[in-house]
A and B are shown apart, each in its own frame.
Chain A
Amino acid sequence: MTTIALPGTDSTTATPQAAPPVRRSGAKGGTGGRAGRAGPVTYTLLTLSALVSIFPLYWTMVAGSHTNAEIAATPPPFLPDASLFENIGAALEQAPIGLAILNSVVVAGSITVGTVLFCTLAGFAFAKLRFRGKGLLLSLVIGTMMVPTQLAVIPLFMMIAELQWVNQLQAVVLPTLVSAFGVFFMRQYLISALPDELLEAGRVDGASTARIFWSIVVPVARPAMAVLAMLTFLTAWNDFFWPIIALTNSNPTVQVALAGLGSGYVPQRAVIMAGTLLGTLPVLIVFAVLGKQIVGGIMQGAVKG
């Protein structure tokens, strides 16, 4: 479980680390160019934090290629070897990891699309539209953030049982299609990033509210939507508590399937670790491909202010 948090810690440490060189070049040259020259101190810090971030992933590979006894030895092994692939094969046999990854993609993908769409819609309404009961509704939305998930689990389970959704993906997707945090986050962003005049210009130009939303609000909100998408996807991918209640090992998400791996009489850590590696790879790939754009989105929003 620990390594799965890796992309999150990686990206959160990467952002502040990336900031100093940019800020420096701005202060020195005033040109604001990208080619700020970072000193050796910066590079040392960056290297260190990169190593710290990468280590859990690396250790997953090491632990995934050694038996329980080898891992427990002193000194422990430091290099992965080819038995990693055997263990991955074992993990694939013991749990339906392929299906789990597919399910997780569907679940996290739907939750992300839904959350970003609904939170942007609601955030826009709360930020810029006038309607009766706005203040009360907003306090209600924010209030739900203070209710712990654990409290809602039993009634939620009774509901999905009633709907006969147990062990079906919609049981995991629907309850999290919109989040109070996301609504609040989008509202705060739009209050500051979307000038009223832009909406008024749209109205004078003859746009309906729906048209204004798609043609004016969404393009302005895009950086915040990217951040929300990233956070939501990670949370959904890593979610364990509700999926393990709502789903079973015959139709699991990645986290549920991984939990199934460790359930033998003597858990084989190597197999668990190999499975964990498999379950983390898709997220890593998403970030390798989209990382630049996501960070770009964050920076763009910050600069535009």
Chain B
Amino acid sequence: MATVSFQQATRVYPNSERPAVDALDLDVADGEFLVLVGPSGCGKSTSLRMLAGLEEVDSGSVLIGDRDVTDSPPKQRDIAMVFQNYALYPHMTVGENMGFALKLAGVKKTEIAGRVAAAAKILDLEAYLERRPKALSGGQRQRVAMGRAIVRQPQVFLMDEPLSNLDAKLRVQTRTQIAALVKRLGTTTVYVTHDQVEAMTMGDRVAVLKDGVLLQCAAPAELYDRPANVFVAGFIGSPAMNLVTGAAVEGGVRLGGTVLPVPRDRLARAAAASGRVTVGFRPESLQLVGPGEGFEVVVDVAEHLGSDAYLYTRLAGADPDDALHPADVVVRTEPRSSVVPGQSLWLGVPPDALHVFDPATSQRVD
């Protein structure tokens, strides 16, 4: 068990001007499950590989426990890694794959066998120990990759999108299994994914990266309730939070033809730089209100999912060609509502469900 700490850790790939990971500051507590999430190319894998010792750290440092491992090779870091494509040794059996690291470490044969058997039991792989990886299904290979990590009983688990090669259903199952297993072992884990649902369901805390920069690191609920900036607000949650930008006017922000009320002090601070305000509200927090009370939208499409329904709407009176300021608003409603396309609705946002951002900085205003 150990803590992990990135301190101003930066990686600039050769022949590239922009850092792939830019001055990353991140502390992972002992036994914590931390998820790194962000769109493809944001530097998640690079961060993880810096922690693994597979990628150079150009400046700053990386600590595991109290030890500065910035310049240590992977084998001195006491970490185990699960790769996206599993990277199982093709010519070794499942058992040999899992025991390879222990064999290299000079662990006695009987102990290796015992630990491999124990891991195989946990992962339901006992029947496959003599097989080669190519004779396994995707889910089984994934479990072997997990097994290879857990037999080592390392200080830290590193996992780089370990579920992305599974089909959707298996992914959901395995996600819960991994989370439960890691919790039980109590090992510090850094988990990389581009899937925000995975991040929200698995992580004790979630760190959102974009373009190599850490935007926010917080518990899933905090991330959801108080996103620190426009990007996090739009990235976390599905369907995404509605984000619309409009001119600040007396008492609120102009949305299409109507004005959405925004508390006075927040409005003033958010609009200080640009005279405009970005407001965000989640599809599920919108309420149908009487005409004239909130803001008006026109329904484009109604999607009925059984448990609930989503209305894809446009702000009434908005310029449809203004690509800079999208006017789309998604609303979650009762499953069997009788709303039809073309219909106009009035929507209200409860004050505590309204997120306000400064369009000049994209930062949240409280």
Most buried by B among A195, A197, A206, A211: A206
3 closest A-B pairs by beta carbon, nearest first, are A197-B87, A205-B101, A219-B91
Smallest distance from the beta carbon of A130 to chain B beta carbons, Å?
10
B residues near A, CB below 8 A?
A: 52-54, 73-75, 79-81, 83-85, 87-91, 100-101, 104-105, 148, 152
Chain A residues with CB under 8 Å of B105's CB are 206
CB of B81 within 8 A of CB of A201, answer yes
Chain B residues with CB under 8 Å of A219's CB are 89-91
User: With A and B bound together, what is the CA distance between A275 and B287 in angstroms?
Assistant: 99
CB of B89 within 8 A of CB of A204, answer no
- Show 27 residue pairs from A and B whose CB-CB distance is below 8 angstroms, ordered by the A residue: A195-B85, A197-B85, A197-B87, A198-B89, A198-B90, A200-B54, A200-B74, A200-B81, A201-B81, A201-B87, A201-B89, A202-B89, A203-B73, A204-B74, A204-B80, A204-B81, A204-B101, A205-B100, A205-B101, A205-B152, A206-B75, A206-B101, A207-B75, A211-B104, A215-B89, A219-B90, A220-B90
Chain B residues with CB under 8 Å of A244's CB are none
Q: A219-B90, A220-B90 are in contact. Are A203 and B85 (CB under 8 A)?
A: no
User: Chain A, 25-36, contact with B by CB distance < 8 Å: what is the 0/1 string?
Assistant: 000000000000
Chain B residues with CB under 8 Å of A160's CB are none
Interface of A is mostly: helix
A216 within 8 Å of B (CB atoms): yes
User: With A and B bound together, what is the CA distance between A220 and B84 in angstroms?
Assistant: 20
Chain A residues with CB under 8 Å of B152's CB are 205
Which residues in window 163-221 of A have CB below 8 A to B? 195, 197-198, 200-207, 211, 215-216, 219-220
User: With A and B bound together, what is the CA distance between A220 and B90 in angstroms?
Assistant: 8
Smallest distance from the beta carbon of A204 to chain B beta carbons, Å?
5
By beta carbon, the residue of chain A nearest B73 is A203
The one of A195, A197, A198, A205 that contacts B104, using a Cβ cutoff of 8 Å: A205
Smallest distance from the beta carbon of B261 to chain A beta carbons, Å?
54
Q: A203-B74, A204-B74, A204-B80 are in contact. Are A195 and B101 (CB under 8 A)?
A: no
Smallest distance from the beta carbon of A135 to chain B beta carbons, Å?
13
User: With A and B bound together, what is the CA distance between A216 and B100 in angstroms?
Assistant: 11
Per the CB 8 Å criterion, the residue count for chain A at the interface is 16
User: With A and B bound together, what is the CA distance between A205 and B148 in angstroms?
Assistant: 9
Chain A residues with CB under 8 Å of B148's CB are 201, 205
Chain A residues with CB under 8 Å of B100's CB are 205, 207, 215
The one of B88, B91, B104 that contacts A207, using a Cβ cutoff of 8 Å: B104
Q: A195-B85, A197-B83 are in contact. Are A204 and B52 (CB under 8 A)?
A: yes
CB of B104 within 8 A of CB of A206, answer yes
Smallest distance from the beta carbon of A301 to chain B beta carbons, Å?
12
User: With A and B bound together, what is the CA distance between A216 and B87 in angstroms?
Assistant: 11
Most buried by B among A202, A204, A216: A204
Smallest distance from the beta carbon of B46 to chain A beta carbons, Å?
13
The one of B54, B79, B87 that contacts A195, using a Cβ cutoff of 8 Å: B87
User: Chain A, 277-291, contact with B by CB distance < 8 Å: what is the 0/1 string?
Assistant: 000000000000000
Chain B residues with CB under 8 Å of A201's CB are 81, 83, 87-89, 148
Smallest distance from the beta carbon of A227 to chain B beta carbons, Å?
18
Chain A residues with CB under 8 Å of B75's CB are 203-207
Chain B residues with CB under 8 Å of A200's CB are 52, 54, 74, 81, 83, 87
By beta carbon, the residue of chain B nearest A222 is B91
Chain A residues with CB under 8 Å of B87's CB are 195, 197-198, 200-201
Q: A203-B54, A204-B54, A206-B105 are in contact. Are A216 and B74 (CB under 8 A)?
A: no
User: With A and B bound together, what is the CA distance between A200 and B52 in angstroms?
Assistant: 10
Which residues in window 211-248 of A have CB below 8 A to B? 211, 215-216, 219-220
Starting from the known contacts A198-B89, A204-B101, 9 additional A-B residue pairs (CB-CB under 8 Å) come to A195-B87, A198-B90, A200-B74, A203-B73, A204-B79, A205-B104, A206-B75, A206-B104, A211-B104
User: With A and B bound together, what is the CA distance between A219 and B96 in angstroms?
Assistant: 14
User: With A and B bound together, what is the CA distance between A202 and B73 in angstroms?
Assistant: 12
User: With A and B bound together, what is the CA distance between A211 and B103 in angstroms?
Assistant: 12
Chain B residues with CB under 8 Å of A198's CB are 87, 89-90
Chain B residues with CB under 8 Å of A197's CB are 83-85, 87
CB of A216 within 8 A of CB of B89, answer yes
Smallest distance from the beta carbon of B58 to chain A beta carbons, Å?
15
By beta carbon, the residue of chain B nearest A194 is B90
By beta carbon, the residue of chain A nearest B134 is A304
